[in-house]
Amino acid sequence: MTAPEQVQLQNIAACDYEIFALLKQRYSPRTFKDLALKEAHIKQLFEAVRWSASSYNRQPWRFIYAEKNSEGYDKILSCLSDFNKEWAKNAPFLMLTAYKKETEDGKENFHALHDLGLSLGGMTMQAQYLGIAMHHMAGVDWKQAEKLFNVPEGFHITTAIAIGYYGGELDALSTELQQQELAERERMPQEDFAFKATWKS
């Protein structure tokens, strides 16, 4: 077993209750295989988004993506926080997410972020099925991104995502990031967020 395969195996979630295998296997690596995404796989990822649920079927999600060694890729990378730039440059595919802020009648689309999240959940599971990892990032300068990509009024850049096939060598990361990559995964227990019949503090 190769080192990347060992890391992937170690990152399978230790669940309290049995869940779908793809959910257990999903994690957010900072290393990726040095391999471009297949065009068919890219289309499958966005097809998963296309069939995601959305309020009133408004489908308010939008995406800007680019492959490594392109001007678009470098522009997306330039919008990331310094911490994220350090490792995201390893990804063969970078993407910005956005949503449409208003409904067709000009009112605030309160559920747009919810819908964007649903679409990314679907994309993430489709990616996992294809052996593709997605590392979602909040550390993005959305104002810079909107300016660089001429995002029209009424849309808001939200997050960035590094995407690539699972794999890649830990040596591509700093010692600190290697430790984070190998750290035990943790999650709060269900009792802290799922309340039956009444809110619990």
pLDDT over 80 at 3, yes or no: no
Please tell me the predicted confidence (pLDDT) of residue 176.
94
Please tell me the predicted confidence (pLDDT) of residue 2.
79
Please tell me the predicted confidence (pLDDT) of residue 187.
94
First to last CA, the chain: 45
Please give the helix or strand (H or E) that residue 135 lies within, else none.
Answer: strand 132-137
CATH number, domain with residue 111? 3.40.109.10
Please tell me the predicted confidence (pLDDT) of residue 9.
84
Residue 113 burial (10 A CB sphere; 0-12, 13-18, 19+): middle
The whole domain housing 122 covers 34-167
Please tell me the predicted confidence (pLDDT) of residue 180.
92
CB 36 within 8 A of CB 92: yes
Bigger pLDDT: 11 vs 136: 136
CB 88 within 8 A of CB 80: yes
Residue 200 placed within a domain: no
| Strand ranges inside the chain, DSSP E | 61-67, 93-100, 132-137, 155-165
Residue 75 placed within a domain: yes
Q: What total of structural domains would you count in the chain?
A: 1
Residue 137 placed within a domain: yes
Residue 176 placed within a domain: no
pLDDT by residue (tens digit) across 65-88? 999 999 999 999 999 999 999 999
pLDDT over 80 at 103, yes or no: yes
User: Alpha carbon 12 to chain centroid distance?
Assistant: 18
Residue 129 placed within a domain: yes
pLDDT over 80 at 1, yes or no: no
Strand-pair category, 155-165 with 132-137: antiparallel
Residue 190 placed within a domain: no
pLDDT over 80 at 91, yes or no: yes
Query: Average model confidence (pLDDT) for the chain?
Result: 96
Q: 3-state DSSP call for residue 81? A: coil
